[in-house]
Chains A and B, each alone.
Chain A
Amino acid sequence: GQQVMQIPQYQHVQEGEDFTTYCNSSTTLSNIQWYKQRPGGHPVFLIQLVKSGEVKKQKRLTFQFGEAKKNSSLHITATQTTDVGTYFCAGDDYKLSFGAGTTVTVRA
């Protein structure tokens, strides 16, 4: 089945800095989704990417889907304390296969 790898596992960021988390799949994905899980919370859907090379933005978050539809990235600019949490990518093949997640902490 699908295997989705995600790096880095942890990201410690100074407030105001940028960071990127990356996902790679062993197979071509029909689509990839991104979720955010706040500490003590449940995953919340952020976005879905479907098309090869697709780029979508949500305020300070930029999501990208690779040309081969095997990789994806999430870039956050000017990190804020509200960005704290774990960001998961997930391949969707009628069921989600989650990456390991990137846990983000922010130094004020």
Chain B
Amino acid sequence: SAVISQKPSRDICQRGTSLTIQCQVDSQVTMMFWYRQQPGQSLTLIATANQGSEATYESGFVIDKFPISRPNLTFSTLTVSNMSPEDSSIYLCSVPEGRGYGYTFGSGTRLTVV
């Protein structure tokens, strides 16, 4: 299965600032997914990142708030912009493993906004 390196693992940020989260995959993948997991909650898909095209955002998430880059088939970034305490969550990237093998997740970025 793919190995994903996600950075940073955690951060504490001031409100109004931005944080960029990186995911590096050890193999080329067409699609990468970004999720948010609020404390004690399930995972909510933010957007799908495809190389060479703009990310596709889910309802309730907008590009101005969560800009995504996908410069190549092994790397993606998610920026959380103009942060507020409500953005305090775990953010995870994920890649599909192919038919029958589910998805592999990065280790997550635990963000606290103060």
Interface residues of A (CB under 8 A from B): 33, 35, 41-48, 50, 88, 95-101
CA of A46 to CA of B104, assembled, Å? 11
Asked if B33 contacts A95 (CB within 8 A), the reply is yes
In the complex, how many residues of chain B place their beta carbon closer than 8 angstroms to a beta carbon of chain A? 19
Q: Other than the known A42-B105, A88-B42, A98-B42, what 20 A-B pairs have Cβ atoms closer than 8 Å? A: A33-B102, A35-B102, A42-B92, A42-B107, A43-B43, A45-B101, A47-B102, A48-B100, A48-B101, A50-B100, A88-B43, A95-B33, A95-B48, A96-B33, A96-B45, A96-B94, A96-B103, A97-B45, A98-B44, A100-B42
Residues of A within 8 A of B107 (CB): 41-42
- Complex: A95 Cα to B32 Cα, angstroms: 10
Cα distance A47–B108 in the bound complex, in angstroms: 21
Chain B residues with CB below 8 A from A98, complex form: 42-44
- Provide the residues of chain A in CB contact with B42, threshold 8 Å: 88, 98-101
Partner of A45, one of B103, B106, B108: B103
B11 contacts the other chain (CB 8 A): no
**Residues of B in contact with A (beta carbons under 8 Å apart):** 33, 41-45, 48, 92, 94, 97, 100-108
Q: Known A88-B43, A99-B42, A101-B42; judge A42-B97 contact (CB<8 A).
A: no
Nearest CB on A from B33, distance (A): 7
| B44 nearest in chain A by CB position | A98
